[in-house]
Chain A
Amino acid sequence: MPEYQKFEHDVLVIGAGGAGLRAAIEASAANVRVGLICKSLLGKAHTVMAEGGIAAALGTVNNADNWKVHFADTMRGGQYLNNWRMAELHAKEAPTCVRELEGWGAVFDRTKEGDILQRNFGGHRYPRLAHVGDRTGLEMIRTLQDYGIHQGIDVHMECTIISLLKEGDRVVGAFGYDRQRGRFLLFQTKAVVLATGGVGRAYKITSNSWEYTGDGQSLAYNAGADLMDMEFVQFHPTGMIWPPSVAGILVTEGVRGEGGVLRNNQGRRFMFDDIPEAYKHQTADNEEEGWRYCQGDKTARRPPELLTRDHVARCIMREVKAGRGSPHGGVFLDISWIKEKISNAPEHIKRKLPSMYHQFKQLADLDITTTPMEVGPTTHYIMGGVKVNAETQMSTISGLFAAGECAAGLHGANRLGGNSLSDLLVFGKRAGKFAATFAKEHTQGKINTDQVDGIARKALEPFDRGAATPSDAQGPYQIQHELQQKMQDLVGIVRTEHDMQQALTEIEHLKQRAAKASVHGNREYNAGWHTALDLPNLLTVSEAITRAAIERKESRGGHFREDYQAKDKTFGELNIIVRRGPGGEMQVVRERIPPLPAELEQIIKEQQQ
């Protein structure tokens, strides 16, 4: 019988990026015992990679900004599939959450008046992103980490959860292993907060780290919770494309916010060629106006480079397909041109975009202050995830909460840049608060030890198979690479029924192969074994993305169908739900979005002017 170490908490937070840390801090403030699971070391989670900033209507740069404008921008960006209550709470609570970080030691860039400086970003009407150069995510995670370590939270580093444990309809524990020694760990808990981030590792070209294997979405799905909006994957328009080994690494939207422009190989600013109707009245129609906007001219409209990410990504694809791309299959992003406008351009660029300067200099031998970058779309974010209650962040399973990227609702069909970091803060805080309340109202449940033994034995099977087969014909890495290639080719930026049906067949094959994956060596820090255990999660989310994408027969936000290119009003009123059926099969259900309350509808109307 496999052995395991046992821990007991009131609230177990799985994931230690922005949302997980914020949830753990809030729960511990409510005087419950909190355990925090980090898949990596503390402070290394994917939040560190966020560059641009935290969207919050602080109004420090343009005092016309307020929560209503932020709410309307978020809804418009999400093409009205958003959970409107989440969008409302988010817009109202984000400013307080940003101020809170400052009180915990965060040092944001400042305005001349000594307030928090805010920058422009795609889809946001006013300068709204509180930031620190282009390393805002690092500032956020470090602030939360340095504050959190003094709050009495039990931190379990380098630990992966492979299953949630239920008693009846309620979640009562979690089971996993520590990476360093490979020992099994059992957590008994009254409530669980999932804050595991996204699914980028299901795709070949991604800005996401190895951790992003859809753990939270899969854990929730396997526990019987509903997933929502899984078809909406965000392909960030600007990832590095050259050299090949760095393909996918993010190039922040902040480059465009600071005046960077997109050009094709003919030197044309192609973003002016296709401006969607809904954004026409607030988008500049000439280059001069776009530049004035980036310089803080309040009367100017924003340049088309700052349209929403889904649109910019598709425009780039169009240029590449039409043969107007850059040598390595992308387009040019140029910030160096601003030397025509300001005298100290190289210094200015280095100060505003230090990590971008560094990243290109070191990884691509390219000086962004003199030379345009080559960029192309990269899998960046999933709007969908665990369906949650807007107020409490509880999923459809009692005691199971979710926050941040692994939860669905706030972003609808497309997320605006900067709304992720604020999402982590606002809903991490709420999840922590309500998970603590739930824990106080409940006693510990009963752990089914037979079930635990079964999970542990299954987790060790790859070693048994490895011992039986000397060569690794079913190596976990090969299976993962094939899945990434298939998802990239068949369920990427442009989708068709035919491709996606083929993807389902491929996923089915890969599932069978994953069930036979074998690994060698021992349990200590064995990345092959870890990958073998991540595979089922990747396959589950890949299938969920594909099935939901097949169901949505229209194009909207991050989901673009070549066979249904227009928006369809019917689909504009519903979310796609994915859940595990009684026989273990994946079910896809359409769910109507509740009608918008009159006062929110009024806000949206007012803001359309």
Chain B
Amino acid sequence: MTAATFSVWRGNAGEGKFYKYTTEVSEGMVVLDAIHKIQAEQANDLAVRWNCKAGKCGSCSAEINGMPRLMCMTRLNELPLDQPVTVEPMKTFPSIRDLVTDVSWNFRVKKQIKKFKPRKPDTPEGTWRMFQEDVDRVQEFRKCIECFLCQDVCHVLREHHLHDEFVGPRFFVYAAALEMHPLDTENRIEELAKAKGIGYCNITKCCTKVCPENITITDNAIIPLKERVVDEFYDPIKRLFRIFRK
């Protein structure tokens, strides 16, 4: 057994500071284990959000040594333990307490995106035909565990706080999954261009880098959506057509 020190941000509503806790660590431990150990032994009221502890629910998002990560999937042996490990809440969202942030904005944003609208069933029994190659891409997007780390790292939200004009990478992935769903008949391109602010994204790919599910957010979701926006709204022929139609 060796000891390691954790510098954990504690406080609420943005007011707080780092507290140092030293605890024993053993083989295979992840950051969330250490936080739980500290909670059980030294700070019973330490606030941390978690659920599955297996990288499947996306609850325990935090910033570890400055990097947005899931606490349950960050092994201590990947971190330099000769210095304190800093653990702090996601910065893009308002603090509730200690490591817990208010992510409710994400739930409100999702509700505003037009829902799935399937085409009529292909058979009288009400079933559809879809082929694996047609759903591979959509399945990649549907791996999202809604940890909101991509939202946390995105500078449009993190630095520029454009929460009212920009839905963030998570919801471009969500919209892409709907737009590329073989059964969906809805069109979300106009809302993506306007209310959802896809133009703000300047493809720095930070979101892709932090995604714990390795979804290629920028290349596979955002760029194709941007292309559709361009096709629809900036295509000179279509533009002319629209002017005449008016």
Contacts and interface: CB of A to CB of B under 8 A. Distances in A.
Interface of A: 40-46, 48-49, 99, 102-105, 107, 109-110, 113-115, 132-133, 135, 137-139, 142, 146-147, 149-150, 155, 157, 180, 209-211, 242-246, 249-250, 354-355, 358-359, 362-364, 472, 475-478, 481, 519-522, 524-529
B75 A209 contact: no
Contacts of A109: 132, 139
A588 to B, nearest CB: 33
Contacts of B39: 477, 527-528
B54 to A, nearest CB: 5
B124 interface: no
Contacts of A211: 51
B244 interface: no
A328 to B, nearest CB: 11
Given A41-B59, A102-B128, A475-B44, A244 B26 contact: yes
Given A243-B28, A363-B28, A525 B55 contact: no
A527 B28 contact: no
Given A146-B110, A149-B111, A527 B45 contact: yes
For the complex of A and B, list the 9 residue pairs with the smallest distance between their C-beta atoms, beginning with the closest. A243-B28, A521-B45, A528-B44, A114-B129, A525-B47, A105-B116, A477-B40, A110-B132, A525-B97
Contacts of A46: 51-52
B135 to A, nearest CB: 5
Contact of A115 (B33, B100, B127): B127
Given A105-B181, A244-B28, A362 B127 contact: no
Contacts of B121: 103
B81 to A, nearest CB: 15
B33 to A, nearest CB: 5
Interface-centre pick from B56, B121, B144, B178 (highest chain A CB count, 10 A): B56
A245 B56 contact: no
Interface in B104-135: 104, 107, 110-111, 115-116, 118, 121, 126-132, 135
B138 to A, nearest CB: 5
A527 B47 contact: yes
Q: Classify chain B: how many residues form its interface, as a range.
A: 35 or more
A41 B105 CA distance: 12
18 contacts: A42-B107, A48-B56, A48-B145, A110-B130, A114-B131, A244-B28, A245-B28, A245-B30, A250-B54, A362-B55, A362-B75, A363-B30, A364-B28, A520-B45, A525-B97, A526-B44, A526-B45, A527-B48
A524 B12 contact: yes
Given A115-B127, A149-B110, A527-B39, A245 B33 contact: yes
A283 B58 CA distance: 39
Contacts of A132: 139, 142
Contacts of A245: 26, 28-30, 33
Contacts of B28: 242-246, 363-364
Interface string B24-62: 001111100100000110001111111111111111000
